[in-house]
């Protein structure tokens, strides 16, 4: 029987790239989305072409009941859950120096999606993951390490996700491995939607400031996630940065 995995926020970008990669390796996948229905359907179609028993589910993972329903649906369909990727995220752009630009609600909204949803999904899936000696990967950010990024609220939520990863790695050992990926700037729709006309300029700045002189594609990040899911059998509580060397060698963009 094929292994099965749930990937939140997987209609586009990193989530979609991860789903397609795992489907190509013989995994059944659950594609989760909130707004991007057409893109989610296309991702599900591409996964099914690899022979994946694909589930498509609209669900707001900030709500615990939705998380539990998603896990239950996957288990009822596959009779197993082997992996979970907590990829769903949102942000609020606000210069770090603009302390008045963030409201209490901004923190609440970002923490609910970027942090609490990962806890809720992992809690719901834990009994099934334990049965399969499965794996969880949380998609954090270098913003959670260096405090930079689109806003202080976003950086804090991603830093908390790193701590959650470490706590869950302790809590679920030895049956479930829990690791995190911390991408730098990622090319594609998500950043384009927020940066608009500034996208090319910002992408170029990050590329020039990195050791490898490039920024990541969604497929680059998916490679790291897939490695934690399918390999890395002795890795848990690991926080892996994928940013072309940017965070290790650069302290400020020029």
> Which positions are catalytic?
154
Cis peptide before 101 (omega within 30 of 0): no
> What whole-number distance in Å separates Cα of residue 188 and Cα of residue 190?
6
* Residue 162 CA to its chain's centroid (Å): 12
Q: Where are the beta strands (DSSP E) in 140-238?
A: 177-183
Encoded tokens for 253: 């963009």
Pairing outcome for strands 55-58 and 28-33: parallel
Q: If phi over 0 gives left and psi between -120 and 50 gives alpha, with beta otherwise, what is residue 240? A: beta
Quick check: helix, strand or coil at residue 251?
Answer: coil
Quick check: helix, strand or coil at residue 51?
Answer: coil
Encoded tokens for 247: 């965070």
């Amino acid at each position: 029987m094929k292994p099965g995995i749930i990937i939140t926020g997987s209609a586009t970008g990193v989530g979609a790239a991860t789903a397609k990669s795992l489907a190509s390796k013989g995994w059944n996948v659950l594609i989760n989305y909130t707004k991007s229905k057409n893109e989610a359907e296309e991702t599900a179609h591409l996964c099914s072409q690899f022979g994946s028993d694909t589930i498509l589910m609209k669900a707001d993972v900030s709500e615990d009941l939705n998380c539990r329903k998603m896990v239950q649906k996957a288990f009822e369909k596959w009779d197993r859950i082997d992996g979970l990727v907590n990829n769903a995220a949102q942000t609020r752009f606000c210069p770090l120096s603009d302390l008045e630009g963030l409201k209490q609600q901004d923190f609440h909204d970002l923490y609910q999606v970027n942090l609490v949803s990962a806890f809720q999904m992992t809690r719901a899936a834990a009994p099934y993951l334990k049965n399969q000696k499965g794996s969880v990967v949380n998609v954090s950010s270098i913003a959670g390490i260096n405090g930079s990024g689109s806003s202080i609220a976003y950086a804090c939520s991603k830093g908390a996700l790193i701590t959650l990863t470490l706590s869950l790695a302790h809590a679920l050992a030895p049956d479930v491995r829990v690791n995190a990926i911390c991408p730098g700037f990622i090319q594609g729709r998500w950043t384009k939607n927020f940066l608009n006309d500034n996208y090319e300029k910002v992408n170029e700045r990050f590329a020039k400031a990195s050791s490898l002189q490039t920024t990541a594609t969604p497929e680059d990040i998916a490679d790291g996630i897939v490695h934690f899911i399918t390999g890395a059998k002795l890795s848990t509580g690991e926080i892996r940065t994928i940013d072309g060397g940017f965070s290790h060698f650069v302290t400020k963009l020029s």
